[in-house]
Amino acid sequence: MKPAPAIACALVRSFGQGVRQLREARGWSQERLAEQSNLNRSYIGEVERGSVIASLLTVEKLAAALDISPAALLRHGEALYDANHAAA
Amino acid sequence: MKPAPAIACALVRSFGQGVRQLREARGWSQERLAEQSNLNRSYIGEVERGSVIASLLTVEKLAAALDISPAALLRHGEALYDANHAAA
């Protein structure tokens, strides 16, 4: 639950945005994702806001809940990051 | 630096194996990868052995040092995981 240092913020934030996007695409609340992933609801909120750096275990749990591979979940965040930076 | 719970061991271990494989493919020592990634040498050893769960920030640093995307680094570990399980 360490706060993200500034240097990592962009990608950590994009990862969180990716999680939120995939969750909302399923029409799931944070509560629902929390149940499916065995994570805490407020922790999910922090991950989505990019205010914590998730561990590989958290990535794995979220990916399993969202029914994609951990690599695919990261790639989704990277695509958002690239899109944000192409637009800037 | 929390030890990996048994449930996550297989994928965390495959991630570590992937890091080791890509490092060795470059002919790099753990010291060299530590310098390139701004991580501790002994921590790299633990990641490679799968005895710690890396954070997304560590994944990002290792990926940058190895000149691939974080998603590609995870996918490499997943491919090893699949290969190990197909062989078993």
Are the CB atoms for B53 and B8 separated by under 8 Å? yes
| Contact residues on chain B for A52, CB-CB shorter than 8 A | none
Tell which of A55, A73, A76 to mutate to test the B interface (max B CBs under 10 Å): A55
What are the C-alpha distances in Å from B72 to residues A58, A86, B19? 18, 20, 11
Give all domains of chain A, ordered by start, each with its CATH number: 6-79 (1.10.260.40)
Q: Tell me the sheet residues that pair with B55.
A: A55
Q: Would the pLDDT of B88 be above 70?
A: no
* Residue B75 at interface with chain A, using a CB cutoff of 8 Å: yes
* pTM, to two decimals: 0.86
B60 with A8: Cβ contact below 8 A: yes
List pLDDT tens digits, range A38-71: 999 999 999 999 999 999 999 999 999 999 999 9
* Residue B39 at interface with chain A, using a CB cutoff of 8 Å: no
Give the single-character DSSP code of B1.
-
What are the C-alpha distances in Å from B58 to residues A56, B15, B64? 9, 12, 10
| Contact residues on chain B for A59, CB-CB shorter than 8 A | 56, 74
Mean pLDDT of chain A: 89
* Identity of the residue numbered B17: Q
Report d(CA B40, CA B49) in Å as an integer. Answer: 14
| Contact residues on chain B for A8, CB-CB shorter than 8 A | 56-57, 60
Confidence bin at B7 (pLDDT 50/70/90): very low
Predicted confidence at residue A7, as pLDDT, reads 47
